[in-house]
């Protein structure tokens, strides 16, 4: 006679307490048998109320997790308790008990409108009701082309929509698709917002901000928020572009100049000698150095810079040559 040893159940640590998990049952089934007050509704993976994050151990999903989560979320241990069986002892928590569903799951939305700002930059409006702050960005996933990319918000209408500024690149799959008017109304997915650009401690009442090219909208979004909360801030905003055709958002800038007495704007064109719309020929690193020399208060200013890697790095070097401390700098850069 052959005796088969019955395999022992796995163990689960849930919110610090230990429970048994039957090997051939889903995690949710085992926990409910153990009288755990686990959140759930449908038990078939549709409602997502039983979302878990496994921090230790291994589980096997009974469904394709890519239908519910991003690859990053799957890598970080997210699963549905009603559609997962244990493969080892595990530690988990139910996400509903610790965070909002919107903080974890992608949000489905669509392109509401597209506005051409200049030669290759477009402002794309997206309905969006989740929490987001000036200076943050979102990873946008476009199912039709199966591609995703990060974009920063250029304006926020809380509870209604956001806009992102998109610079169209020659081989940019995402940027080209987002700026095609034929794609208005098409579904896209937004990952939870992240980033802390502009979220700095004000050690002085002066901000010197630099925006390179298509980064202007994002920087303006941050500055508008600062001015709404404190009209006494002295702001010097520099917009650095290569050509006259790259200029945009002058109506928005002129409105800030009228509303706030201490808001100053400087436009720089690096590859043309044209003096137009308040823009003059010049390069940002040299302009920043001269601004610091002319304005003694600049030595204690908060510096906010966003643009290409080459622009931001050259400006940081220029500021450090004038003994500006790293703690005064908040930067974000992208590509070339």
So what's the pLDDT on residue 159? 76
Per-residue model confidence (pLDDT) at position 293 = 80
What integer pLDDT is reported at residue 65 of this predicted model? 85
Handedness of CA 60, 66, 71, 74 (dihedral sign): negative
pTM score over 0.75:
no
pLDDT value of position 72 = 64
The predicted structure's pLDDT at residue 296: 67
Domains of the chain: 10-101 (3.10.20.30), 107-190 (2.40.30.10), 206-333 (3.40.50.80)
Low-confidence ranges of the chain (pLDDT < 50): 97-98, 100-102
> What local confidence, expressed as pLDDT, does residue 260 receive?
95
- Beta-carbon contacts of residue 27 (< 8 Å; ≥ 6 apart): 12, 21, 52, 59, 81, 82, 84, 85, 86, 90, 92
pLDDT digits (tens, 9 = 90+) for 63-80: 888 777 776 678 778 899
Q: Which residues contact 302 (CB under 8 A, 6 or more apart)?
A: 200, 202, 203, 204, 206, 207, 208, 328, 330
């Amino acid at each position: 006679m052959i005796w088969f040893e019955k395999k022992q159940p796995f163990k689960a640590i849930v919110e610090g307490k230990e429970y048994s998990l039957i090997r051939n049952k889903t995690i949710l089934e085992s926990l409910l048998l153990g009288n755990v007050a686990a959140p759930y509704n449908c038990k078939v993976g549709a409602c997502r109320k039983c979302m878990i994050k496994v921090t230790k151990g291994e589980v096997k999903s009974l469904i394709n997790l890519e239908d519910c989560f991003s690859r990053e979320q799957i890598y970080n241990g997210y699963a549905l308790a009603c559609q997962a069986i244990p493969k080892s002892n595990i530690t988990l928590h139910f996400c509903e008990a610790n965070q909002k569903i919107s903080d974890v799951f992608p949000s489905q939305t669509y392109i509401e409108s597209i506005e051409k700002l200049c030669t290759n930059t477009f402002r794309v409006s997206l309905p969006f009701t989740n929490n987001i702050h000036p200076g943050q960005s979102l990873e946008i996933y476009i199912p039709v082309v199966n591609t995703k990319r990060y974009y920063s918000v250029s304006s926020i209408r809380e509870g209604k929509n956001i806009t992102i500024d998109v610079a169209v690149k020659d081989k940019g799959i995402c940027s080209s698709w987002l700026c095609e008017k034929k794609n208005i109304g098409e579904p896209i997915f937004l990952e939870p917002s992240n980033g802390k650009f502009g979220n700095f401690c004000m050690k002085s009442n002066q901000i010197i901000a630099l925006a390179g090219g298509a980064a202007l909208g994002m920087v303006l979004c941050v500055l508008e928020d600062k001015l709404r909360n404190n009209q006494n801030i002295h702001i010097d905003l520099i917009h650095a572009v290569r050509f006259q055709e790259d200029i945009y958002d002058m109506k928005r800038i002129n409105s800030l100049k009228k509303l706030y007495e201490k808001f100053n704007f400087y436009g720089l064109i690096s590859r043309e000698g044209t003096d137009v719309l308040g823009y003059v020929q010049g390069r940002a690193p040299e302009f920043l150095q001269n601004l610091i020399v002319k304005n003694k208060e600049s030595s204690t200013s908060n510096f906010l810079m966003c643009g290409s890697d080459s622009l931001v790095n050259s400006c940081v070097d220029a500021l450090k040559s004038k003994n500006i401390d790293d703690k005064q700098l908040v930067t974000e850069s992208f590509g070339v």
